[in-house]
Amino acid sequence: MERIKPRTLSGFMELLPGKQAKMERMMEILRTTYAQYGFAPLDTPIIEDAQILLAKGGGETEKQIYRFTKGDSDLALRFDLTVPLAKYVALHYGELAFPFRRYQIGKVYRGERAQRGRFREFYQADIDVIGDGKLDITNEAEMPAIIYRAFTRLGLKRFCIRVNNRKILNGFYAMLGLTEQSGDIMRTVDKLDKIGPDKVRALLISEAGVSAENADEILRFIAITGGNDQVLSALEGYTGRNEMFDEGLEQLKTVVKYLSAFGVPAENFAVDLTIARGLDYYTGTVYETTLLDHPEIGSVCSGGRYDNLAAYYTDKQLPGVGISIGLTRLFYVLGEQGMLNPDLPTAPADVLILPMTEDLSAAVTLATRLRDADIRTQLYTEQKKFKAKMNYADKTGVPYVLFLGEDEIKAGVIACKDMTSGEQTTLPFDETLARIQAGLAERNKGTVILEK
């Protein structure tokens, strides 16, 4: 037979079982965390009408999108989870209760140039709260709590949720008479971490057309740093000059005010006036989350408040606030950094039963009892030498191997080997089960991410 060399497309993540087990843990943590805040799981098609996905259009999107025809249909693969959400809410408006809170963890597609750590198929893990006409600021205050809980459960401690408010920025630029240039200015300011204040100042003057005085004013403004109280009180100095600025400051104060009631420690949160989020889309609170020991990764959870989710599909005003985690990239980076906990069990089974008798009835019954007790159990029945069987146990990393021969069956006991300690016990079913349950609880205590 003519054979085809098997391969997986470049830019598409395909994990071996051990790594996949860790990815599944991460997804499960995100699912349960999002659910804890009352978000409904949603699942929209991966293929949509191309006209709908491209309603907004725009250069990068049109270049990167996977678009094709089938019969007469002009189809495309979703490139994010926000556009499908906008379509969903516009389409099912009458059947939803607002505020509508949904989470979606799903694959999206972007035909980017292939490069290390860039994916063409990747998971996004998004939450959004959509209001009908209005949406209270408390929803914006709640987002850091969700990020904090999700990241903490994953095992991260050294991260910072950096928050700003677009109204403060827009109001500030309006004060200086720079409303029209504000987009260019913010894109320039965004480079501060990379190129430093002097070059930012030069670019503001040469490219954004800002006067030297205003450039200094801008640099003084974005240099406001310190604890949340310090930053907020420095901002108070600008009040009374622009309504939008004042409104943004009030919102930011509300977000900060409820932090501790939402359970977010001060050290994991910072008001940061340099955060703008490139998109024109955001109109209020904006979020970025960085790992303190890995600033080079950039933001691993970003989002913000927007005023109009679905303007391309409906005349309903649908303001919202959302955050998104680029899960595939995050998982890849954590792996590269050696931050995925190597001590967590990743074997598909907790227990491997090696029957030592020709008739397997006793071994099968044992497997059924263990499964009834919620122990993930594999029955190994291949005709192999003992050594090959133990190699299999080692290769899969199964934590317990049970041996069941005539002697054990007669005596009503099970021989159980702890594959980590090497310790072997020969005990009745209940005691063996209790030992396994306790050992698994101990082994599964760790978090999926480990900071060094």
| Segment contacting a second copy by CB under 8 A, of 152-160, 161-169, 344-352, 400-408 | 344-352
**Number of residues in contact with a second copy, rule: CB under 8 A?**
107
- Residues 6 or more apart whose CB falls under 8 angstroms from that of 92 comprise none
Q: In this structure, is the dihedral angle defined by the CA atoms of residues 64, 70, 74 and 76, taken in order, positive or negative?
A: negative
Q: Which of 145, 270, 330, 402 binds a second copy (CB under 8 A)?
A: 145
Q: How many residues does the chain have?
A: 452
Q: What one-letter code names the amino acid at 257?
A: K
Residue 128 binding a second copy, by CB under 8 A: no
Task: Give me the least distance between CB of 306 and a second copy, in Å please.
Answer: 16
DSSP reduced 3-state for 4: coil
Residue 73 binding a second copy, by CB under 8 A: yes
| Segment contacting a second copy by CB under 8 A, of 207-215, 229-237, 278-286, 379-387 | 379-387
- Of 16 and 441, nearer to a second copy (C-beta) is 16
| Segment contacting a second copy by CB under 8 A, of 268-276, 282-290, 378-386, 433-441 | 378-386
From residue 407, alpha-carbon distances to 43, 359, 361, 412 in Å are 53, 14, 15, 8
Question: In the window 89-108, what residues touch a second copy (CB under 8 A)?
Answer: 90-92, 95-99, 101-102, 107
Contact status, residue 437 vs residue 351, Cβ threshold 8 Å: no
Residue 41 binding a second copy, by CB under 8 A: yes
Q: Give me the 254-293 binding string for a second copy, x by CB under 8 A, dash otherwise.
A: ---xx--xxx------------------------------
Picking from 157, 161, 160, 150, the residue whose alpha carbon sits closest to that of residue 450 is: 157
Q: Which of 164, 214, 242, 378 binds a second copy (CB under 8 A)?
A: 378
How far is 345 from 328, CA to CA, in rounded Å? Answer: 21
Contact status, residue 329 vs residue 315, Cβ threshold 8 Å: no
Rg of the chain on CA atoms, in Å: 27
Residue 4 binding a second copy, by CB under 8 A: yes
Contact status, residue 158 vs residue 451, Cβ threshold 8 Å: yes
Q: Which of 224, 352, 354, 436 binds a second copy (CB under 8 A)?
A: 352
Residue 72 binding a second copy, by CB under 8 A: no
Task: Give me the least distance between CB of 178 and a second copy, in Å please.
Answer: 27
- Of 241 and 371, nearer to a second copy (C-beta) is 371
| Segment contacting a second copy by CB under 8 A, of 87-95, 216-224, 279-287, 401-409 | 87-95
Residue 419 binding a second copy, by CB under 8 A: no
Buried b (16+ CB within 10 A) or exposed e, 410-444: eeebbbbbebeeeeeeeeeeeebbebbeebbeeee
